[in-house]
Amino acid sequence: MNINQIELRHLRYFTRVAAERHFGRAAERLGIAQPPLSQQIRQLEERLGVRLFDRTTRTVKLTEAGEAFLEHALAALANVGEGVVAAQNAVGKNAGRLVIGAVHLGPVLFLPEIIRRFLRRYPNVSIDIRILTTDEQVEALAARKLNIGFVRPPRSLGGLSMVKLSSEGFVAVLAKDNPLAAKNGLTLGDLRDEPFLALSPLVGVGYQNVTMQHCRLLGFHPRIVQEVSHNLAIVTLAAAGIGVGVVPAWVTRMPHPDVAYRPLPELPDAVELALVWPADDLSPFIRHFVATTREVAAEGQRP
């Protein structure tokens, strides 16, 4: 085989089919008709001398040879992208825009370090940050309105790549003049007779179920006096003396003069944060941002 017979379009088409596991969807995403796509894949297989996909009328699967080739095809495309960036950096033409989503202000607290490192390599890229729910980010990523997102791990990835960054527990939030705020070793059971502030079910935050399940295990049902749409709203109402709440530990990074946060170690570290991005996005911007985020997370600079 002559390696010069393999062209970049072969690699692009192959990696797209591998990501979609469907020739029709892959063709649609590539903006070409399905027959030319199938023809290009067959041509690549002939030039490699191996079969890359097992095809049936319903499924498309990578063969063992296809799995082995995929890693190198992705690396080759990424290397070309890096080369383009290096050439453009050399003449100051590497400009672009990175739109980042975040589920709350927590990630914003460690984003500055990620952005600082990212911009050392891509100094001409402008960055926008939008605070959105996980569902909103998944939709925006699919519509290419976001490049990358900090989310609670979604149930279905639907064409997204994901890496989990951290997990954390919960704290109780109470008005500072609440007698329980002065108690050492506060437990969830101590809150049984308090008016409770909770997130609205419409928000769809599964980790609130963790709190409710533990309350039931302790033999009580929280007396919910108000449901709100955000954890910071719980903090605000607790400060006003409306009730008490249980919120993710990231909230403590935003101190409030009229509330006390008390750890609840009996609850599990069920609040996860993950980074997601379109699985087919081979942009060197994205690859480097993901690598930089993992680097910062590994150093302990987490929400």
Judgement on whether residues 28 and 161 belong to the same structural domain of the protein:
no
Rounded to whole angstroms, how far apart are CA atoms 226 and 200? Answer: 9
H-helix or E-strand spanning residue 233? helix 231-239
Would 262 be classed as within a structural domain? yes
Contact 237, 200 (CB under 8 A): no
Residue 267 CA to its chain's centroid (Å): 23
Phi, psi (deg, nearest 5) at residue 112: -55, -40
Q: The CATH number of the domain where 75 resides is what?
A: 1.10.10.10
Q: What is the DSSP letter of 153?
A: P
Judgement on whether residues 194 and 253 belong to the same structural domain of the protein:
yes
Would 203 be classed as within a structural domain? yes
DSSP of 239-299, one letter per residue? HTTS-BEEEEGGGGGS--TTEEEEE-TTS---EEEEEEEETT---HHHHHHHHHHHHHHHT
H-helix or E-strand spanning residue 161? strand 160-168
Residue 284 CA to its chain's centroid (Å): 18
Judgement on whether residues 39 and 20 belong to the same structural domain of the protein:
yes
Contact 220, 192 (CB under 8 A): yes
pLDDT at 204: 47
Judgement on whether residues 28 and 78 belong to the same structural domain of the protein:
yes
pLDDT at 4: 67
3-class DSSP state of 302 = coil
Rounded to whole angstroms, how far apart are CA atoms 220 and 97? Answer: 51
Would 54 be classed as within a structural domain? yes
Judgement on whether residues 28 and 76 belong to the same structural domain of the protein:
yes
Q: The CATH number of the domain where 153 resides is what?
A: 3.40.190.10
Judgement on whether residues 231 and 184 belong to the same structural domain of the protein:
yes
DSSP of 53-117, one letter per residue? EEE-SS-EEE-HHHHHHHHHHHHHHHHHHHHHHHHHHHTT---EEEEEEESSSTGGGTHHHHHHH
Would 64 be classed as within a structural domain? yes
Judgement on whether residues 263 and 276 belong to the same structural domain of the protein:
no
pLDDT tens for each residue of 83-119: 766 665 555 555 578 899 988 765 656 788 899 999 9
* Buried b / exposed e along 116-133 (16+ C-beta atoms within 10 A): ebbeebbeebebeeeebb
pLDDT at 82: 67
Q: How many domains does the chain have?
A: 3
Low-confidence ranges of the chain (pLDDT < 50): 204, 301-303
pLDDT at 302: 42
Would 303 be classed as within a structural domain? no
Would 235 be classed as within a structural domain? yes
Would 50 be classed as within a structural domain? yes
Token pair for 29: 């995403």
Domain that holds residue 175: 170-268
Judgement on whether residues 51 and 186 belong to the same structural domain of the protein:
no
DSSP of 117-140, one letter per residue? HHHHH-TTEEEEEEE--HHHHHHH
Last residue of a domain, one of 87, 121, 142: 87
Last residue of a domain, one of 87, 106, 127: 87
Judgement on whether residues 256 and 176 belong to the same structural domain of the protein:
yes
Judgement on whether residues 175 and 262 belong to the same structural domain of the protein:
yes
Judgement on whether residues 208 and 243 belong to the same structural domain of the protein:
yes
Last residue of a domain, one of 41, 70, 87: 87
Would 280 be classed as within a structural domain? yes
Judgement on whether residues 239 and 180 belong to the same structural domain of the protein:
yes
pLDDT at 1: 55
